[in-house]
Homo-oligomer: A and B are copies of this chain.
Amino acid sequence: MRTLYHHPIHALSRTARVMLAEKGLPFEPVVERPWERRTDFLKLNPAAEVPVLVEEDGTVVAGGLAVIEYLEEAYPDTPLLPREIAARAEVRRVADWFLHKFEREVAENLVGEKLIKRLSGQGHPFAPAIRAGLANVTYHLDYIAFLSERRPWLAGSSFTLADIAAAAQLSCLDYIDNVPWDRSPEAKDWYARIKSRPSFRALLADNITGCPPPKHYADLDF
């Protein structure tokens, strides 16, 4: 059986899970706490980062960027990037925005400080980081609204990796109830469309012992 080592509240892991589900590829999810630096996990990925995909034939695909591009190359049916080269670049631009810029400006400051530090026993949240994260999230929501007003989906006319990456980040943030949905009806509407996709169901069922999500997290009518 194909195996995905992942962490439930981690955007690149969530991106991989949704891609696998969209492509109809069955897999066994294995929760990995990368901060434990488990020896057998380091053998799969010496960078000690999730996600890591292990195919049935033993092929190991390690790290977020490698997994994303591998899934698209190895399983091109149900494409999550468009065909046209310039359109693919636009998808990667928006995906990169959320997987790296949003990660640095919002996720590390909020999900990292509030949840991951607690789970990994790395000390207390750093208040200035949290303030920065809360200030930054609003302009990222505004950017989603800006894109949503101009296009059916974030990177163009079809649902792509860009939507998956952005929703993966937003869903982690929503898990700790830090998305000010009232700020942006357009972003909320876009996220509601993603939430209702079957590929998103497993994410909405995530529940970390001792850190449950807020009630609206799994609610399709939030």
Segment touching B, from A24-32, A86-94, A181-189? A86-94
Taking the nearest CB of chain B, how far is it from the CB of A44, in angstroms?
11
Taking the nearest CB of chain B, how far is it from the CB of A19, in angstroms?
14
User: Taking the complex as formed, is A66 at the interface, i.e. its CB lies under 8 A from any CB of chain B?
Assistant: yes
Specify which chain B residues have a CB less than 8 angstroms from the CB of A62 in the assembled complex: 89, 93
Is the Cβ of B92 less than 8 Å from the Cβ of A69? yes
**Nearest CB to that of A92 among chain B residues?**
B66
- Which chain A residues (48-95) contact chain B, with CB distance < 8 Å? 49, 59, 61-67, 69-70, 73-74, 85-86, 88-90, 92-93, 95
**A85 to B89, alpha carbons, bound, how many Å?**
20
* Additional A-B contact list (15), CB under 8 Å, known A46-B143, A70-B86, A100-B100: A47-B93, A47-B97, A59-B86, A61-B89, A61-B93, A62-B89, A62-B93, A63-B97, A64-B96, A66-B92, A66-B93, A69-B88, A69-B92, A70-B88, A70-B92
Is the Cβ of B63 less than 8 Å from the Cβ of A93? yes
Question: Per a CB cutoff under 8 Å, which of B47, B59, B89 touches A66?
Answer: B89
**A188 to B155, alpha carbons, bound, how many Å?**
42
**A72 to B47, alpha carbons, bound, how many Å?**
25
Interface positions of A (Cβ within 8 A of B): 45-47, 49, 59, 61-67, 69-70, 73-74, 85-86, 88-90, 92-93, 95-97, 100-101, 143
Question: Per a CB cutoff under 8 Å, which of B46, B74, B95, B96 touches A85?
Answer: B74
Specify which chain B residues have a CB less than 8 angstroms from the CB of A64 in the assembled complex: 96
**A70 to B88, alpha carbons, bound, how many Å?**
8
Of listed A47, A65, A70, A97, residue having the most chain B CB within 10 A: A65
**A143 to B48, alpha carbons, bound, how many Å?**
14
A sample of 10 inter-chain contacts (CB < 8 A) reads: A45-B93, A62-B89, A63-B92, A64-B96, A65-B93, A65-B95, A66-B92, A69-B92, A70-B92, A73-B88
